[in-house]
Amino acid sequence: MDKFVDIAPIVEIRELRDGLFLLSFESESIAKNAKCGQFVHIKCSEALFLRRPISIYNVEGAVVTVIFEVRGKGTKALSEMSAGTLLNVLGPLGIGYSLSEYSGKKVWLIGGGIGIFPLYMAAREYKGNSKVILGFKSRAFVAADKDFAFTGAETHVVTDDGSYGSKGFVTDKFKELLEGDKPDAVFACGPMAMLKGVYEICKENGIDCEVSLEERMGCGLGACLCCVTPVKVADTTENLTVCKHGPVFKGKEVF
Ligand SMILES: Cc1cc2nc3c(=O)[nH]c(=O)nc-3n(C[C@H](O)[C@H](O)[C@H](O)COP(=O)(O)OP(=O)(O)OC[C@H]3O[C@@H](n4cnc5c(N)ncnc54)[C@H](O)[C@@H]3O)c2cc1C
Ligand code: FES
């Protein structure tokens, strides 16, 4: 799989809401090869040895966009960059969702919190053939829902406290929508408990399920083994790296 280290100029960086930033950079090589569910590994500061993994949100021509939340030193440094700064980016990395395998079929996209971002390119691809369920803690954390709706995908927002969209978890909305319709596959990304809940519902209903996992990463290339996770392969369990063998796995391989 083609991956590149690029010194890419930032074309746009702006705060979408408190602590959440959209960053676009120009990289023909990464843009040309990027697939939905893959990520880029960004050098956020000369003072930090390790790069930070961020999912690819969108690609338009040679421009790649990511959306990230400030969590610690790396993402804070990244948020302080400005348009014109040259970004050191490695990517596209990992294995994304099986977009082409489900072409023409019904795929529902289920994301929680910052886990919604790797699903956007799938919404753009499947448009009205997909339903999207986005879950957030409360209104203050809602982001990108209008982008998803604009693709033509039927977009539902839920919040834990009901302050925006309907009240509940993505799994509640998933069960509700299943009363009237059933997809061929679900692509999900979010906290582990959410992914497990989504997978269990898929299993009960005979729906294929792909989940994107998050692990702390070092090299991003499968060499340092710091992101190893147990994955069921055939009848055995193997320790595979989330960065190289994932981050997207079949739900049945993980749970
Ligand atoms: C494949 C992948 C895709 C990702 N995509 C996105 C994205 O699109 N948008 C986004 O906002 N974030 C995303 N993340 C999470 C992002 O990489 C971390 O928030 C970031 O690395 C934190 O770096 P930091 O230096 O700011 O914080 P640190 O100082 O390193 O850590 C701050 C806090 O974040 C936690 N943390 C650090 N790394 C991770 C991680 N990988 N997973 C979970 N918690 C972590 C730490 O335990 C600590 O509590 C992704 C992570 C992975 C593995
Ligand atoms: S981050 Fe080094 S092996 Fe995955």
Does 84 share its domain with 106? no
Could you tell me the CATH number of the domain that includes residue 33? Answer: 2.40.30.10
Instruction: Identify the nearest ligand to the CA of 227 by its number.
Output: 2
Does 20 share its domain with 116? no
Q: Spell out the SS3 assignment of 129-190.
A: HEEEEEEECCHHHCCCHHHHHHCCCEEEEEECCCCCCEECCHHHHHHHHHCCCCCCEEEEEC
Q: Please write the tens of the pLDDT for every residue from 183-212.
A: 999 999 999 999 999 999 999 999 999 999
Which ligand 2 atom is the nearest neighbour of the CA of 225? 3
pLDDT at 1 over 80: no
**Can you give the residue range of the structural domain that contains 56?**
4-93
Does 152 share its domain with 121? yes
pLDDT band at 118 (very low <50, low <70, confident <90, very high): very high
pLDDT of residue 147: 98
227 Cα to the center of ligand 2, angstroms: 5
pLDDT of residue 2: 79
Q: Mean pLDDT throughout 224-232?
A: 97
151 Cα to the center of ligand 1, angstroms: 27
Has residue 70 been placed in a domain? yes
pLDDT of residue 235: 87
Does 205 share its domain with 104? yes
Instruction: Identify the nearest ligand to the CA of 244 by its number.
Output: 2
Does 46 share its domain with 142? no
**Domain finish residue from 93, 120, 150:** 93
128 Cα to the center of ligand 1, angstroms: 31
Residues with a CB atom less than 6 Å from ligand 1: 39, 52-55, 66-69, 71-75, 114, 117, 214-217, 247
Q: Residue 168 and residue 103: Cα distance in Å, rounded?
A: 30
Does 136 share its domain with 38? no
pTM reported for the whole predicted model: 0.96
Has residue 246 been placed in a domain? no
Has residue 168 been placed in a domain? yes
Instruction: Identify the nearest ligand to the CA of 213 by its number.
Output: 1
Which token pair is 166?
A: 């309907």
Does 50 share its domain with 82? yes
pLDDT of residue 69: 98
235 Cα to the center of ligand 2, angstroms: 25
**Domain finish residue from 33, 66, 93:** 93
Has residue 40 been placed in a domain? yes
pLDDT of residue 4: 87
Q: Residue 119 and residue 96: Cα distance in Å, rounded?
A: 10
Does 21 share its domain with 68? yes
Could you tell me the CATH number of the domain that includes residue 183? Answer: 3.40.50.80
Does 71 share its domain with 17? yes
Does 84 share its domain with 112? no
Q: Mean pLDDT throughout 118-137?
A: 97
Which ligand 1 atom is the nearest neighbour of the CA of 246? 1
What percent of the chain is predicted at pLDDT more than 90? 97
Kindly report the protein residue whose alpha carbon is nearest to atom 25 of ligand 1: 74
Q: Residue 16 and residue 6: Cα distance in Å, rounded?
A: 26
Has residue 241 been placed in a domain? no
